[in-house]
Amino acid sequence: MTEEVIIEQKRKLKEDSESKSKVIDYLDSIKILLDEEDADIAVQYALWLYTKTNMRLNPQIEKDFPLFSKGVYYGNLGKGVGAELEKDRPFVLLSGSNISETVIIIPISDDEKYIDSTFWYHVPLSTGDTALVEQIRTISKTRIRRPIREGRKVRALLDGELQKINDAIDRLKFYIKK
């Protein structure tokens, strides 16, 4: 979404009292839901709503660092639902282009429950982390915060690690076709 489109949407909301009223109603409904939650959970969701709104209305697509396929980056995956991975976390950038505002990523975890996993869709990495292929997703470049560096270079997967991830993705595609 271009900056001009966002500015136009903000202008329309200020002028459209019906839309503004709907926004206030939704925010009031969210407040009611959060009032019924544990305080820590309510704060996490409220912060995520603020963060996501800020990312949407003030996107920073252009980065002051390069984006490479096979590169490892930190990004804000937000507040998950169910077993989705969430929060600021590392991920492998699988693909993206200078033209697109989105990229395909696979989250990485250092949680011990994944380290010695025998699931074929958990790919161990040389760093001791695990690539969670079942969590593959498309995200906006706005969510990418910074590269993980090894010296002055962006950390990258080894070719063998990338091949294992691609093999796991192929298996996922097989299961989807069934």
The better pLDDT of the pair 167, 176 is held by: 167
Which residue type is seen at 41? I
**Is pLDDT above 60 for 85?**
no
Q: What 3-state class would DSSP assign to 13?
A: helix
Residues of the chain with CATH 2.30.30.110: 72-177
CA distance 91 to 87: 12
Instruction: Give pLDDT, residue 107.
Output: 93
Q: What letter would DSSP give residue 135?
A: G
Characterize the bridge pairing of strands 137-140 and 102-109. Answer: antiparallel
CB-based contact 46:31 (threshold 8 Å):
no
Per residue in 152-170, pLDDT (tens digit) is 899 999 999 999 999 999 9
The better pLDDT of the pair 57, 107 is held by: 107
Which CATH number does 72-177 carry?
2.30.30.110
Signed CA dihedral, 159, 122, 106, 41: sign only: negative
> How high is the mean pLDDT of the chain?
80
Per residue in 117-132, pLDDT (tens digit) is 777 788 989 888 899 9
Which residue type is seen at 145? R
